A and B are shown apart, each in its own frame.
Chain A
């Protein structure tokens, strides 16, 4: 499978718990993005990596959220002390290190905080 892979596909957690999601990008892609999407809305930018460097974070990103991309390969997104408002689809995308190029998305992780 040469597409973007995300794990898990679904996660149900209790409020206050920590959760971690994983994204495996397309192998030759240097850029990796995390987005959050709620029902009826378009994806909202969270953060962006070029190789292992986190180059940009959304101003809307709470400090309960942290993302890493060790060795410039897979990435993890951790949410600490989850709140009900964190319930959403978390999408990962990757693209080549070429300006103006499209990003390819994974199938997402659906988080439900109860």
Chain B
């Protein structure tokens, strides 16, 4: 069965302290891996799509990378406004229609 696991569940950082969030996946035939940001009480906001191992995408302080088994979301010099839950999701060959989500990492950045 397709599965997505994110770690850590929660992460507290000081402003400016860089770190990485992990998303490991077990799927049959990855078609795409997606990163979303979700603020409390709101719907997920799309950040990145990665399609193949070795691919990287960047947006402001965020950089997403992909290997054959996992993806990382690197956060460089974060600011308090980066505090949110970051969700990883995959679209797999076994069911090309649905997108499967992990449980997310709650990121908190202290000023």
Chain A residues with CB under 8 Å of chain B are 4, 6, 31, 33, 35, 40-45, 48, 50, 55-56, 91, 93, 99-108, 110
CA distance A44 to B103 in the complex (A): 9
Q: How far is the CB of A36 from chain B (nearest CB, A)?
A: 11
Q: How far is the CB of B19 from chain A (nearest CB, A)?
A: 20
Contact A56 B95 (CB under 8 A): yes
Chain B residues with CB under 8 Å of chain A are 4, 6, 31-32, 34, 36, 41-46, 49, 51, 87, 89, 91, 95-104
A-B contact count (CB 8 A): 66
Contact A108 B98 (CB under 8 A): no
CA distance A55 to B97 in the complex (A): 8
Contact for A102 among B4, B32, B42, B96, CB less than 8 A: B32
From known contacts A99-B31, A100-B31, infer whether A108 and B42 are also in contact, taking CB-CB under 8 Å: yes
CA distance A5 to B49 in the complex (A): 22
For A107, the chain B residues whose CB sits under 8 A away are: 42-43
From known contacts A100-B51, A104-B46, A108-B43, infer whether A45 and B99 are also in contact, taking CB-CB under 8 Å: yes
Contact B43 A42 (CB under 8 A): no
Excluding A33-B98, A93-B99, A105-B36, 17 further A-B contacts by CB distance (< 8 Å) are A35-B101, A42-B102, A42-B103, A45-B101, A50-B97, A56-B97, A91-B44, A99-B96, A100-B31, A100-B49, A100-B51, A101-B32, A101-B49, A102-B34, A102-B46, A103-B34, A108-B43
